[in-house]
């Protein structure tokens, strides 16, 4: 499971600690493996997911990202509270800057910087008519730097085949895009063949390397 809040990594440490450690199930194999990341909104208002091998790298990426974050304050009456919590669900901070806005970097620069930082870079919900690469700029170029492309859970099986024909050389995944606990389910995610649940194994699966692979579509 990856924690990918909008333009922010502040809540990942709480889930990492609650799950027993970073990128591992710790001593309790029944706990989920949690990875740190974010869903970035570019200056073109395109969403792209980045998942990092460590929270330190995710936090460092956020520092770079926020060099061009517009200083627009959150309006709690309109958008709700932007809370940071600890592993016991206590509120430890509140982010005053509006997180659901575009940072002033173009989408390709964000993707390239993410790849350089060792992240999994995934253009988000490519099928949606808003906040997706296709909705804003059209067909994703073959040389666009990314690890996979993501479709929403609204895509039917027959539509998946169309997307596979459109992007025959891309790994396609589907994610929950969960904004609440009830959105988390196996039916909304992507099965993968891994040796163990870890960042490195997911990376191999997205690359279809060393016997690891995405079992989708």
35 vs 5: CA distance, rounded Å: 12
pLDDT digits (tens, 9 = 90+) for 85-104: 999 999 999 999 999 999 99
For the segment 15-23, the average pLDDT, to the nearest whole number, is: 80
Q: What are the domain boundaries of the chain?
A: 2-214
DSSP reduced 3-state for 168: coil
How sure is the predictor about 185, in pLDDT bands with cuts at 50, 70 and 90?
A: confident
- 10 Å CB burial of residue 4 (0-12, 13-18, 19+) is buried
Backbone angles phi, psi at 35, to 5 degrees: -115, 150
Sequential DSSP letters for 29-58: TTSPP-EEEEEEE-TTS-EEEEEESSHHHH
Over 80: is that where the pLDDT of 34 sits?
A: yes
199 vs 32: CA distance, rounded Å: 13
pLDDT digits (tens, 9 = 90+) for 72-83: 999 999 999 999
How sure is the predictor about 68, in pLDDT bands with cuts at 50, 70 and 90?
A: very high
Over 90: is that where the pLDDT of 212 sits?
A: yes
Whether the pTM exceeds 0.85: the reply is yes
Instruction: Count Cα atoms within 13 angstroms, Cβ side, for 148.
Output: 25
174, containing H or E segment: strand 172-174
Q: At what angle do helices 55-65 and 107-116 cross, to 10 degrees?
A: 150
pLDDT of residue 27: 52
What residues does 40 pair with on adjacent strands? 48
């Amino acid at each position: 499971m990856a924690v990918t809040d909008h333009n922010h990594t502040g809540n990942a440490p709480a889930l990492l600690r609650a799950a027993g450690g970073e990128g591992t199930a710790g001593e309790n194999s029944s706990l989920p493996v949690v990875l740190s990341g974010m869903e970035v909104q570019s200056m073109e208002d395109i969403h792209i997911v980045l998942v990092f091998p460590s929270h330190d790298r995710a936090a460092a990426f956020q520092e770079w990202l926020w060099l061009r974050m517009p200083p627009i304050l959150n309006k709690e009456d309109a958008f709700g509270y932007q809370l940071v919590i600890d592993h016991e669900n206590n509120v430890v901070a509140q982010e005053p800057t509006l997180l659901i806005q575009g940072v002033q970097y173009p989408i390709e620069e964000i993707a390239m910087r993410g790849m350089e930082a060792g992240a999994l870079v995934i253009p988000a919900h490519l099928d949606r008519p808003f906040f997706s690469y296709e909705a804003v700029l059209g067909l994703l170029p073959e040389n666009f730097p990314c690890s996979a492309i993501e479709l929403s859970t609204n895509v039917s099986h027959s539509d998946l085949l169309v997307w596979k024909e459109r992007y025959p050389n891309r790994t396609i995944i589907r994610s929950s895009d969960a904004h609440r606990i009830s959105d988390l389910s196996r039916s909304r995610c992507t099965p993968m063949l891994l040796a163990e649940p870890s960042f490195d194994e997911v990376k191999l699966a997205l690359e279809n390397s060393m016997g690891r692979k995405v079992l989708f579509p």
